[in-house]
Amino acid sequence: MSIKIKVWRDPYDACFNTTEAEEIEFEEGLTILVGCNGAGKTTLLRNIEEYLNEQKIPGLYYNNRTDGDRSNMMYTALNIHENVNMLATLAQSSEGETINIGLGSLASTLKYFIKNGRKYSRMNQFLSPEEQPKIPESNKRIILLDAIDSGFSIDNIIDLKKYLFDFVLEDTKKNGYEMYFIVSANTYELANHERCLDVMSGEYISFNNYEEFRQFILDSKEKKEKRLDIAEELQKKRKKKKKWEDCDYE
């Protein structure tokens, strides 16, 4: 099974398309988005999120830099899990411990989403059974994870792939769900031997060793900088044309 996404054209009105492809097909399972910083990984995830909302397909967007920070996990500990012990641990934990707790919190968030097809909302507890949001009819579940490997050590990422991605995909398949993980990567460990999508070209690639990944990132950076130079020239021409069009010759 798969889903096709129409890619935004010039999303920032900056004279360039983040992704060259006009449409991208994602297969069921795990897809890793790769590219240098600023290549458009987050933009593509937001593009997918908008498409899912329009099509009423259950999707969950999670950004590790914001949803995974310590203060947010403290909020989650109290308001979703109602776990005071977890709150105390977060307040005293080191960065590494916080990351591991964050993975546990993410796993709980995913578990609720997969079952109910929506994010957890504390306000639902004040609704009557008749007022509760209905579980979507679609058996598709799309998880969008941004910067999920940010700040992670190699062993954290190995655990993430083994105990989160692999386990969830296997478990959800047994329960009849069509499951997609679309994940942005900043590290080779996450992209290693996975199905990867070059966000700038929209083409699928794979990496067999670190040197391949390193060279791809360097090439992606060079390509991004050329794209920005071209966009800057196009913007200058656009402004010049608008200036002439705005002139009053009467």
pLDDT for 124 equals 60
Tell me, what's the pLDDT at 70? 41
pTM of the model: 0.76
- Report the pLDDT value the prediction gives residue 216, as an integer from 0 to 100: 96
Mean pLDDT of 12-40: 89
Question: What is residue 122's predicted lDDT score, i.e. its pLDDT?
Answer: 59
155 within some domain:
yes
Q: What tens digit of pLDDT does each residue of 122-146 get?
A: 556 556 666 566 766 778 889 898 8
In a domain, 229, yes or no: yes
Place of tokens 């940010």: 150
Mean pLDDT of 220-246: 78
Is residue 110 very low, low, confident or very high in pLDDT (cuts 50, 70, 90)? confident
pLDDT band of residue 243 (cuts 50, 70, 90) is low
- Under the banding of pLDDT at 50, 70 and 90, the label for residue 73 is very low
H/E stretch holding 31: strand 29-34
From the number of C-beta atoms within 10 Å of its C-beta (0-12, 13-18, 19+), residue 13 rates as: exposed
Strand positions, DSSP E, 92-193: 140-146, 178-184
Work out the percent of the chain whose per-residue pLDDT is above 70. Answer: 71
| Distance from C-alpha of 143 to C-alpha of 149, rounded to nearest angstrom | 15
Closest CA to 36 of 155, 192, 213, 167: 213
Average pLDDT over residues 53-71: 73
Side-chain half-sphere exposure of 112, counting CA atoms within 13 A: 14
Computed over every residue of the chain, the mean pLDDT equals: 76
Cα separation, 75 vs 105, whole angstroms: 11
Does the residue 79 lie in any domain?
no
> Best-predicted range by mean pLDDT among 2-11, 26-35, 54-63, 81-90?
26-35
Q: What's the CATH code of the domain at 10?
A: 3.40.50
| Distance from chain centroid for Cα 152 | 16
pLDDT per position as a tens digit, 173-212:
887 888 899 999 888 988 988 999 999 999 999 998 999 9
Structure tokens at 163: 């105990």
End-to-end Cα distance, the chain = 61
- Match 């129409």 to its residue by tokens: 6
pLDDT at 97 over 50: no
**For residue 128, is it within any domain?**
no
143 assigned to some structural domain: yes
In a domain, 83, yes or no: no
- What's the domain count of the chain? 1
Q: What is the pLDDT, as a whole number, of residue 83?
A: 47
For residues 244 and 3, the model is more confident at 3
Is there a domain that residue 117 lies in? yes
Per-residue model confidence as pLDDT tens digits over 156-178 = 787 778 777 887 888 888 878 88
Question: Whole domain around residue 39: which residue ranges?
Answer: 2-68+104-121+137-245
Phi/psi of residue 136, each to 5°? -55, 145
92 belongs to a structural domain: no
